[in-house]
Structure 1
């Protein structure tokens, strides 16, 4: 049984006899995802419940038609051939939900959180479906999640529901981090220019040396000395 079939079978719109008809006969006797031609007398016998001295439950042809209408309404059946428009005796149906594989297997039994719990291989797909594109989990995030629910042993969920809780926690945490984080360009902003504090120490030394040379050798061309200093700097 696929998850899609399970979801349809648990619909409150479906009666118990209709569920039994699908699970115990139509699905079981199907060839692949297509039923055999429906035989009302055989279906009636399959659904009948015998009791002491007779039948405790029996279905009429009209009731069978109503049960099949229920299955059609929730999508478990799709009509392919029907030689008699007034009823479905001899009709052939497809089972569209039988070939529709869901995200996860049938819901497993519920259990309380335990220290060894881990999300399974379906987690990435579930996260993307819920809008969490980065489904990576580090040990700190997982440990916090497990520790939180270990403190609530009265909560029982199945594997799928625990993974949903983890996805919601991650989405909430990462949303908060994005809001509180600095803007992406903050680390690349140009620093304000430093105020001009005058020539550097090296430049001052060079200028002092040039003045000394000028004083010692009056014939030296000052413009050429400045040009030389510019190259050294």
Structure 2
């Protein structure tokens, strides 16, 4: 369940049968790629609670009017969108859509930490988070991402939330870009920034040295 769905389902004005209808039937239909149409008999059976001791065989059932009211609750909570037929008071056989099923918003609950895995990817909040960390360009390539994942796959004892993993990834991008701007040379197993190369005497100094040499040669050795 996405954080957006959780937040909407937790609204105190949403009834328990409406929550059950969404989580046990409507959501399952969409996730199973089944025909997304509101079938009243099928939805009614999904909500019915069997009680053998009751004469009717059920301790809870809903009729068409009650089912429509539950669907209205879900639409008011923005969990459900129905392509309703204006000529009917019910939504039987109407196509529907669950807009929050793929929408990501921050949950009121803390994110659950997890280990790094091969399918990990930064989410759409990366650019804004990167700017807060001083990284204006949040673009990255597969090499950047692959090295980051490979590094943390080797540390399975580390558990972080999605937000914390993205902060780590941003710091890695920042470090890699800084390192690319520095000329590096390899010494043994370490990469170090080479010391500045001595450029030798200046041109003026070289001219003075050559003039001194010529003067010494012209004088020759001293004779007693």
Q: Normalising to structure 1: TM-score of the pair?
A: 0.45
Based on CA coordinates, which of the two structures has the bigger radius of gyration?
1
